[in-house]
Amino acid sequence: LGFGFVRPNNTTPSTEREHLCVVASMGCGTSKDLVETIEPQQSPRLARSPSPSDPSLQPRQRMSQRRLNGTTSSSSSSIANGPGAAAAADRKGSMGPKRAKVLIIHTGGTFAMKPGPSGSLDTAPGYLEQMLASASELRQPEMPLFDVKEYSPLVDSSHMDHGHWARIAGDIEEHYLLYDGFVVITGTDTMAYSASALSFMLENLGKTVVFTGSMIPFCEAYNDSRRNLVVSLIFAAQSEFPEVCIFFHNQLMRANRTTKINAYAVNAFESPNHEPLAQLAVNIKTNLRLSLPQPRAPFRAHRDLATMSSISVLRIIPGSDGAGLQALVDHKKTRAIVLELFGTGNGPTHVPGLVKALQKARERDLVVVAVSQCRYGCVIFDAYEAGRGFASLGVLSALDMTLETVVTKLAYLLSKVDDAARVRELLTVSLRGEVSDAAVYQKRLFSKENTLTYFGSKL
């Protein structure tokens, strides 16, 4: 049960980052942990996944499309593009250049909601396809063909769990060879969790999967739905970034680096400790040096995450006495605990109750990991004496990973590895570009200038 590691080799700000992909064994009975080393690709953006237009894939396309009947829209082929256009193109054949094909997976969320009888926004089955059929910009020749797979019932993102993530992963796996890319429309409340989880579940991903949504529904005259979808389709149709991304407002971001920061603004998401993969202005500016290399193993979806109820999150506040942590440690289902600490990983390690709880967690061999309550920065226990105590009690630093990424990565690792020590070892290894090298932060923190620098700007 191997999976790919991507470990960025951070160099000077003026040079492009290279990536090293390592395939590791995951409890498959071999004594070797690292079984294969893959050299960095010279031009990862030039390596493209098999295209659905490949004649050798056509029989499988037609067979799979028959399986899609009733779940994927197939509107009249007289529409140049719109719901069902990709399927119609397969049935009719093409006389001109092949256009990219994208599958839109609509799970729910604000994007295609309408006011219900109470006046509150509610899901509206079938409404998305109606709006897309009337969107003239989607019929432009430079736009990809697309099909729509709408879930029934549609799901509010606040109701999302690992079962929904498994369904999305399975749908992508089933149609992987039929489309050049995928767009997943979901609600914004848990989008960062969902997209981070899929970044780990989709192993050896060689195509672009873009999560998007909106803060204002499509039914409003002024909305952010239309542009978010148009741009997401453009990115999904290309293979410049073979990974799971989030596009929102004007930025394409690595999914497992992204978090929601605002409930009342159209720029609701941010990638605090990692540059955007692409930004929109008058033109689209892409940072191809951040592109992950194409995988060299077959794609597959890992659907069996560890139960999320086995992972708990506790935010430390001034005056915490350790009672809450002790309750989590004593719970029989607990396998991992994420502590939200102050600053660079500081907290009240002088409190006997907290120390006792952490000692008990170590006795139970629980995975305890610390994230920072700050949006920017990294957990470095050595920075202050108030942080060293956590390291001595067996707490692991999450470095600069987001909370959403730590939680979903734990669920992924705990589902593949039974040994807690091995989970701790892999947690800080970059599997999908989700974590930076700690040495970079230590150099910044303890430099002669004693000045923190992010992306070339001093703070």
> Catalytic residues, which ones?
110
Sequential DSSP letters for 118-176: TSSEE--TTHHHHHHHT-GGGGSTTSPEEEEEE-SS---GGG--HHHHHHHHHHHHHTT
Indicate the DSSP class of residue 8.
E
Sign of the alpha-carbon dihedral angle for 100, 89, 57, 152: positive
Q: Which residues contact 293 (CB under 8 A, 6 or more apart)?
A: 6, 19, 21, 38, 40, 41, 44, 47, 242
CA dist 448 and 459 (Å) reads 15
* CA neighbor of 362 nearest in space, from 387, 385, 383, 337: 337
Residue 182, number of CB atoms within 10 A of its CB: 27
**Beta bridge partners of residue 37, listed in sequence order:** 22
CA dist 96 and 332 (Å) reads 62
Indicate the DSSP class of residue 255.
G
Q: Where are the alpha helices (DSSP H) in 368-450?
A: 385-392, 403-416, 420-427, 438-445
Q: Which helix (H) or strand (E) holds 355?
A: helix 352-363
CA angle 151, 157, 163 (to 5 degrees): 65
Q: Which residues contact 409 (CB under 8 A, 6 or more apart)?
A: 196, 200, 256, 401, 427, 431, 434
Sequential DSSP letters for 270-336: E-TTS--SEEESSSEEE-GGGPPPPPSS--EE---PPPGGGEEEEE--TT--SHHHHHHHH-TT--E
CA dist 68 and 76 (Å) reads 16
CA dist 122 and 135 (Å) reads 22
* CA neighbor of 170 nearest in space, from 153, 159, 158, 182: 182
CA dist 398 and 428 (Å) reads 6
| Amino acid at position 338, single letter | V
Count H helices and E strands in the chain, helices first. Answer: 12, 23
